[in-house]
Amino acid sequence: RKVQRVVVVGLAADVCVKATALDAAALDLDTTVRWDATRPVDVEPGDGQRALAALRDAGVRVVGAEP
């Protein structure tokens, strides 16, 4: 396998981006999400912040995130 790193961007941060990044991390890929290049849809209030926390808890590097 030649893929070692994945950078994930796009819509929606709390659905597609989160799922893709978590899957990549589970495959032991060096995974980064550019939070400034995605947006949550926030179907439920706070979905975006919960997604951010889940990514960080899984060891995904999140850059460009609000503090």
What per-residue confidence (pLDDT) applies to 18? 97
pTM: 0.90
pLDDT tens-place string over residues 10-60: 999 999 999 999 999 999 999 999 999 999 999 999 999 999 999 999 999
pLDDT category at 65 given cuts 50, 70, 90 is confident
Domain total in the chain:
1
For residue 1, the model assigns a pLDDT of: 64
CA-based angle 23:32:25, to the nearest 5? 25
**Host domain of residue 37:** 5-63
C-alpha to C-alpha distances, 45 to 40, 41, 50, 51, 67, nearest whole angstrom: 10, 9, 10, 12, 18
